[in-house]
Amino acid sequence: MSKLSLSMAEKIIDAALAKGAEIGLKPLTVAVLDAGGHLVALKRQDGSSILRPQIASGKAYGALAVGAGSRWLNANAETRPHFVQALNGAAGGGIIPVPGGVLIRDGEGGEIIGAVGITGDTSDNDEAAAVAGIAAIGKTADCG
């Protein structure tokens, strides 16, 4: 059984922020949660707005809640809004159902060991930075 360590979370964050800088993204906030939904690490770049930590965490938490990347939640918010609304109610309003929440798997189709949530740019760009961060630790990204 693989665990997500603080060192791994820090590498994910640093690689995600480096990807953001490389492709010219707006200031990002990156949250890394373990498989139980607990915050392991969070970094907010200068210029990020005040709710970005909650948004990043909510994207990651939503992915963990359903076992699929938050892109899946976004699709369901469009096709089954009643389901996503009820799910978010059950989660105390802590789920942000837009792309940018990516599961961290230990190998292709393997065990979920955590999730990354990123916010600050477009949802697609947030997700791309999360995937780059996960790749930096040699794990598999699951966008949903």
**How is the chain split into domains, by residue range?**
6-142
Q: Is 108's pLDDT higher than 80?
A: no
Share of the chain above pLDDT 70, in %: 99
Out of 32-36, 107-111, 125-129, least confident range: 107-111
DSSP 24-35: TPPP-EEEEEET
Structure tokens, 103? 């599961």
Q: Structure pTM?
A: 0.96
Please give the structure tokens belonging to residue 128: 């791309």
**Non-local CB neighbours of 95 within 8 Å, separated by 6+ positions:** 58, 61, 62, 65, 73, 84, 87, 88
What pLDDT sits at residue 24? 98
- Cα–Cα distance, 10 to 7 (Å, whole number): 5
pLDDT tens digits for range 35-92? 999 999 999 999 999 999 999 999 999 999 999 999 999 999 999 999 999 999 999 9
Contact 100, 118 (CB under 8 A): yes
Residue 109's pLDDT band (cuts 50, 70, 90): confident
Residues 17 and 33: their CA atoms lie apart, in Å, by 17
Q: Is the pLDDT of residue 116 over 80?
A: yes
Burial call 25-57: b when 16+ CB within 10 Å, e when fewer: bebbbbbbbbbebeebbbbbbeebeeebbbbbb
Task: Write out 47-89 in H/E/C secondary structure.
Answer: CCCCCHHHHHHHHHHHHHHHCCCHHHHHHHHHHCHHHHHHHHH
pLDDT score of 1: 56
CATH topology of domain 6-142: Beta-Lactamase (3.30.450)
- CA–CA gap between residue 131 and residue 70 (Å, rounded): 13
Q: What is the mean pLDDT of the chain?
A: 96
